[in-house]
A and B are shown apart, each in its own frame.
Chain A
């Protein structure tokens, strides 16, 4: 494919069109997309994939602008995949992340792609994993995946990246009780943003809260979680962030955890794909047979119990 060559040459338009392809819901595009990804995956690049999540309003995009600016001055090539929520009602979206990435969006060493979530689970859109494979093949050193921080997204996002970071704001320590379960298991780094001006004291306090809460988890997990203080506006703490990322990557590579994770993620991916195919196949069969409505009528008329209906439909469909 000519497209593959052009991606590997780093041509902006080729990368962009390839991402469109993997995000497309059209059958013919999806077939092409599978061919493309199978080819690209044969020759993996050297990208480190980093996930950034966090509740709305903590300054994720501003942090990425600030951290990204720091990285490009060190001559790293940076790919950014930002996922914006689509409206539940209209299905349309406003993709506004780039309005907060003024400096890095101009830089020739960046590639920034926003993607509407289109109602998928946890803000990870269809095609995000594939898009990161494309950016990897195009020679980007770091790939940032920015997601809307709502509940499940951390878990899905963490399955796409080598390092998962959670960005939080000053004063969020209290919420830790409620959310720690999902997050502490999946996040490698906690970044407390807005360590500036009036909020400085509050930010340090929050970082301390996280540190103490996380100390309980050390024993359960093989890895030590890091808590860092930054100010996206003042661009402070960025050196520590990249240092920590590099340390964790090195350490994980030494311990074999890096490869282990990628293998797990591959398993997860395969499982997901299989489930998706089976699910869509079964959906088709169910609707063609019309058995759901047929049997639910019977249940309504008390002709059979609900569980009998479920069993019959299942047997019938899987035949």
Chain B
């Protein structure tokens, strides 16, 4: 505050202090981002800005107020719901239904094997086929996916990063076989591999060849697909993994800079491709912070692109898709999620997003049903048609608070971006594992705040619902999906010209050895009905498969609980256990299958260790057999399986079988955490699972339950 001599302010301050019995200077609340929020903002808070310009207009430098002059007053944002259901046929039905009910764009979710470049018939992916998205093995699946959907009229967004080459190639070939020239295809492919190495882990190749592939796609689309966005630089998954808004903002823009450099290294002029870069942010429950984040993102990107020498105005403008936060959804009292999602959607709109996905309220439990998907879509339709928010561009401009917050966020993010640049850019930082570790640290802090009750989550750690409602969820018959896909692959393999396919794949492998663009030979192979898995393997021969090093934070969780009664109770139980048994309770925390979302597993590992457990961490992408070997060799007391991709019904029984195969007398107990529909609880208990912890579980309570279960189990000797 620069000017407190103001009489009006002084008398306000007096009243404030009288009402609150607090000193004004102490009355601040600190956000996750480390920003102090004051109880009041005034005109003085609009001074000394280095990023935000007070009198700027929408559609003008530095674009804080929006990419376009007219924004929603001319055309509202695009309602773009992300979805994919197991098979191409089901997804196609779902898309057509949505298009009839007012949706303007499509967004495709793929299953994990497709993401990781495995065909559905690969043994490695047994539990993952058709889970969390649609399985694409060949171009035939892609054609079914868009059956009767004219690809020259529909914008299609594809969340694909690992297997970008075969998937984009399949999309192009599917279009061509529908009679649509590739130059008419519109939409976006996510193609953001750096964040995969940070948080989502659905990569295939190591960072450097992966970056080359990104650049190949930018190059190809900039020349041949003028209406297609070559990349969607995503912060979404970072926030989902626990990053605060500054980390999300800074790392996303730093990723963007790295992609710009990669494309420029192919000899492209920055203005050739920059107008087709797009972004993707998460919108969580911190209402004003999220608004400020979108405004700050546009402000910073304009500056960054100017520094890259962009001359075309469109290169300076950040356009973004947003999705409401999945991690803010709770399993407990799930109808609250409709309310959370509504506020988040409003944040995204006030921040000026170009398109939006609103989550279905049951997504903390399972994949959405038709009914929950309808409510999610209607959330946006009501905003567009009933609330009047589309009538004024950037209505919060000039708000002392929001403008100040935009500036603060910009400053903090800029500091981190500068740090990353000094390290030599994001690829290097990612290889060193720094962003991943920072995000995990932030995630652990957030979890500790919820578990300790210093952050309220309604229905979870306060105002709990005494009568939990039961919710109908979508059930997927994973084995049927896999069998169908396998049959389709077999039929295609019989009918295609095998020799031509082999030749095309060999060409692709050779192309990977040179520096030539890989998309063209990929399209050739896909046209001949090579599978996604075959194409991925052809490249793997040259690039290898990437395995991530896993670093862990420690001490971050425990710090929030100094003197906490429940925490100390668990600590004491651990010591008593050690005195009685000669060692500490030992738990193996694993992810099984192709799901790489490891935030939950990491948080459980670090917080259990902080309570004194010995915690074994397994590598990602293990099969049930690998997990059993690991558990038995380390003679752990318990295995904690983290599952978010609906594979638990196949993978957990497999694990049980594998354990007793190695040791028929195995006394290792198994508990499961993650997204598990209540309908599956009985199935899991029948398969000897000892405990199930859903989203929003208090980790201290989990730890206590686990140690009690272990002790009970040992006393049965």
**Interface set of A (CB-CB < 8 Å, partner B):** 12-13, 15-17, 19-20, 23-26, 29, 62, 86-87, 89-96, 98-102, 105-106, 111-114, 116
Contact = CB atoms under 8 A, between A and B. Distances in A.
Contact of B629 (A12, A89, A100): A12
Contacts of B154: none
Interface stretch (B60-68, B407-415, B608-616): B608-616
A50 B51 CA distance: 58
Contacts of B663: 12-13
A95 B629 contact: no
The bracket for how many chain B residues form the interface is 35 or more
A92 B662 contact: no
A24 B583 CA distance: 6
Given A91-B574, A94-B552, 17 more contacts: A15-B633, A25-B582, A29-B582, A87-B554, A90-B558, A91-B575, A92-B613, A92-B615, A94-B605, A96-B551, A98-B616, A99-B617, A100-B547, A102-B619, A106-B622, A112-B634, A113-B634
Interface of B: 547-552, 554-555, 558, 571, 574-575, 578, 580-584, 605-606, 608-620, 622-623, 625-626, 629-630, 632-635, 662-663, 665-666
B584 A106 contact: no
B530 to A, nearest CB: 27
A92 B610 contact: yes
Contacts of B606: 94
Nearest to B583: A24
Nearest to B664: A13
B549 A100 contact: yes
Contacts of B617: 94-96, 98-99
A300 B610 CA distance: 39
A18 B315 CA distance: 65
B54 to A, nearest CB: 46
A15 B632 CA distance: 9
B486 to A, nearest CB: 24
A35 to B, nearest CB: 16
Contacts of A16: 632-635
B632 A90 contact: no
Contact of A106 (B558, B608, B626): B626
Contacts of B578: 25
Contact of B581 (A26, A89, A100, A112): A26
B554 A94 contact: yes
Contacts of A111: 633
Given A90-B609, A94-B605, A99-B619, A105 B630 contact: yes
A40 to B, nearest CB: 17
A93 B609 contact: yes
B635 A87 contact: no
Nearest to A30: B582
Q: Pick from B610, B616, B630, B633 the residue with the most CB of A within 10 Å.
A: B633
A13 B632 contact: yes
21 contacts: A12-B663, A13-B635, A23-B583, A26-B580, A86-B614, A90-B558, A90-B571, A90-B609, A92-B609, A94-B554, A95-B615, A98-B616, A98-B617, A98-B618, A98-B630, A99-B618, A100-B549, A100-B550, A102-B547, A105-B629, A111-B633
A92 B611 CA distance: 7
Nearest to A65: B547
Contacts of B634: 16, 95, 112-114
